[in-house]
Structure 1
């Protein structure tokens, strides 16, 4: 159609009835078209247009040629990227989305209101996630969800001979991509994974359990069965111990110990040493132990030695090849048998009948040894003593005589007087001693001919002082001075330390420092140290609120006995995880568990000792800060926004005091509760910088855009609290701009180039000047000159204590803050229609308000004031400001409306 010279054009083209697949609620319309440049028509350019409109109408049946404009709803205004002149043909391709379809079919229609346009083709399609086998689970082709269902959950079925502990499922995105598989299938016992299928183990191989592992060859000393074997049984004469895994090798019995030798060590004391060599054949095992049995013989009669005999270290369970035997009688002969055992001989003991030795003892005539002396009673002039001797064989049980020698302790050794007594019993009372005097005593047993035996050590005993009564122990009065002195020293030490703790300045007390859990050799140690274990029975899941990298995130209730139940967020680990994935998942808990601050997300605990690992944190009702701000655009005052920023800064001050660098501070990683309290979250993700110019920090959960990262961190990987301060400045901009994306639609390369050329984000609308100046300080190129988090908290506190300081607004340039397309057209305004203009500033929901108010041209828009905008039904403060500032920008007729166009 090309009726550009005629006014009031209203030309329509409608498709035939397009049947809709029931699950396809969202379709894409791809248009190829040509639009002629209005300037090429000369004088008719004032009525000429360069856009046309796309409409849609749903229906449950084909209405034939019946056509009513009122049944169609506008989808979009279609404008060309390239305009065709007389000599240069330019074909445009545009794609638009028709959402929320629910009827059996629909029509598309195209309206021309005065353009010279050729519609070349219309392709209508919907996106699907293709049929796919992932982790041995088959998922059917699935139509992608619409705007109201960004993630469509799809259940899968395990392939043949595969099983899963829970229903395998996955999510289909609006772009037709599968994400976050949950519930991995695994091949049954006797089967292994081969190209998305489960295949039987080959003969001579086995697989005992359902897992992702491959079939293994049968271990040593086992016999292979046919295909699909679960286990390999032991060969004849080979066994598995009760504690051996059924998948391990089989072992034989050990042979007899060799070279058993008995060596006498102290014959007079009835001791000997048994030693031997290990068996020549251990049966292929390392758990060899030994036991010793003893028999004593008198003539031809032998019997067990009984409990009298002592073995050092023991008579059974020996791992060394020697044992010391004592308490033997000197007049008997003994036979010792040493047995070798292993884990497979617990019921079959191997008797080493040839591994024994016999040793004979002759009765000894040596006198016994005095082993100890004791004081029985004392007075100022007497001491009563007694002593004990070593055990004797029965043949030696006859009377013994003793020699007792004593002297005063303080006597001059040159003129010492010794007193010697011969005694028939093992006790004595010595009289006529000096009061309060110490004496040294020595006693020895005498042999048959009066020969001396082993003497005791010299012992010291003291008589009581004059006037003191006799006792059976030392006088406690001697100890009282020492006891009193010890108590005095203890109390002085206690009170001195208490005074130091209470009175010294706070900065002298030690400050808690963050400990990197990855420095632990065993990551599980860090989890046990920093996180509390929760029993799964105390957790109840309510509904899925998100899909994380490792699995689903639930809202739930934590009810621990003796505590009030609380709402929690529950992060789960999907089945089929590797040990590294489990450690990466739980490492975030090891970090969070070290923090305790009202502006840091609180860790309630973890579940690690059960099959399904979980991380349980406090539940934040309002979710992520960036989405919350976008949903409440313009509904909060600057004072409220600064209060939220103060909470974030306080949390970051706490982290920096602990020497923790966050590395990924952004509004999306701040959570908001019902009281609008902000808390820092998202800890523990490892980051690697890619080498390409468009490099982004890649984490296990996705990519972190360059636009939040400090220049030195991008260039040199210098992550410090100062780089976190740069990120906090970006968060401040996000908050004051109600969740606007930093640097808008600029590419990573454009962002880095602009920052290096000293460009900084402009002030958002209605941003207090003091707040914007703090942002600029956070974005200083020299990181040493940026404020620290304690400075930031202090400044924000001052602003909140003086609300009037927030009334001075920073200069706002709508040409920079609202990214408008380049101007074109002959009427002097950047846009051809009101709807096109509203769509560009994301305010298209007000198109009908402008139409009903009779404002249908851009000339009328340029004449509007704030009151006029309110009168047509724009009530939200944020929306009112966006429209008003856009009109202000339209009035400023500059040839380029964006400083980024260069």
Structure 2
């Protein structure tokens, strides 16, 4: 467009709207062939004309187009020509070779943007720049000369309004032609870089701006470093990459911008740039994009194996297992398995079971006290030494071969087994000695029995010597676990050792311990104090006895003629928490590991577990728990048992390890007794122990009860079910839920219960049943019932009689008869414990002394004749005590009367089909039939002997061919 004259005019681009689209060029008039329709003012100012570009192509001189992206900075490329002012002499003073570029942002749409000329003349346009021509021309020559076209690019921004903007060109008095206008913005194109996709990103408001573009991982890729971003500079170029992605497991990179799935038969286990690999040996993948090849049947990977490792199998069983038995120790050796499973982490486990018979079903796991060197699990060598076994006991040892995948196999580990029987062995060492008393010429000592007696202890040998004269030692024997050493020097230290002896010989001496006699002056001083104390006690005792006698006479002469009034006694504490804090150790629950349920109690479950105190060796324990939803009273009763147990320290009283009260569940933790309750243990081992062994067990129970009596406690629930047995057959009194403290400031310490509740009638003394009066004497009655339970191998006291029948029978002076093969002296002890007059019953110290005499004189334990005293002890209920053989007519009836129907098929199958034939049976016959328990053999032979007199006339000879 050529302009003449000094006029100033505008040509106005109607409206350029901004929105988001993919078009980059906003306007280009070079290709237009029709009218563009710009608004120009004044009317004689700008006008739209056709022209030519520098290549003589027809173009329109102005144009407009829509912008669809919200750019922050807009660029305008203007192509124009300018007439050289020097070539127009007549207007030289007012001629210009420049023009101005303006823009105006708007919020209005295109249709709203049409205004009058006045508005556009006064609109608040912002100036972009004054544009000057680099080259001008003198005249238009279409005969071959080209126009001198100028191209200038200007930018403006940032834009802030959403609808668009107007461009305006102001003529300052130039003779010029506006050939083309291109409006555009710059952006960085979408790109995939480092396996991340970055979208198209507009440049910033300034040419120096850097715009951050956040990237996202392409499909099947995962982030490696975050954040993932690129910077878009003002020229629309990407720069400064940060972070990256990589193909995830199961996919491999392809051409740098694609993650391709691994085909079947291959896998890729980790994220990264690695490629898919073929499946290792003995494995396969049946899907695409596999991250792991599954092992084929019978093959596995270990916990520490990587997906790239070959699948392996479990080893075969060890070979050539042999044993060397030496008393109570055994050495096992074996050869490695033929097939190790293609692994180099082969190891061995040794499993020990103690058996009551050659049949494996009668075996149980060995005690924790059994020692394995170098260990029993994870052995690398093919040899192990096992010690601390029981003497004369059958064991089964299984040697397993395992490797890193044995725990993956659904089948048990391959193993080789061997059966051995230990020999007689000397007892283990006595753990410690205690000084009971001392004078200037003697001192008395006591000690607990060895943890592993390995038989009946015959006696103890005590060696002692003056510490200043080691070579002159003296010896002394004791049949009990105590001794008094006399003839010593005053004020002298003596080194003492003790060892136990069985039929296998002496054990090892205990460690040396030093004990001191008193000097003569010390002894005289102590003796004087004792005499003064005895004298004072006698005087006080006379006064107390007098006062008690007066009180009894004033109340009523017969204390058993009616109910006894309630008597209150001092308790440990009104608050069980305080008592527990005083007498029981609080254990952190993190030190306790619960393993398995072994029973249930009044308050909740009983578990076997492990206790690992800080800095100490882990030990097995029994754990009593308080059930969920307990009442406050139940919690008090539960904790009161722990506060009672915490006061006791005696080898035949169950040991309290501690309590857990600061977390849930609340627990009472005691030592673990491997053989469980005495009644169950005896029933499981019917007839297996010699009488002297049973007496030894009774002696331990009596010793524990003697201790309780000395501590002024009454147990109130003494029964075989509340006696626990450890692996060494040591019996310990337990279950102190009903125990109570007795007053010691009266001549007759009793505990009178005024509360209701169940009473174990079969074990309870008559005065306790009638008047709820519990004393140490009522515990003695219960001890007599326990003795009967032991000698009858866990038989139920009074059999199937009801509780009321038991009460009535006792009131009529009925007493339980002697169990089968029970020595007379033991049954007499029971009858003494069951004296109606509680004052006539023996005390627990007397019972211990009596049992010690029996043990020292085994001849007194011969069975003899069990005579039931005449008179009141005869009772019609005796018919229930022994099998009634008068009515039996067949072998089946006879065995049912003996409660041995399990042997029916054995008897009939061996030819003993009638009672006359049964009367001819011998011990050898029973052994061949399969009656292996000694107690069952005795019971059958005793019954057979009692039947023989009634069948002498009809006894045929033994059947020919039987048991050959």
Question: What TM-score, normalized to structure 1?
Answer: 0.40
The TM-score with structure 2 as length reference comes to 0.37
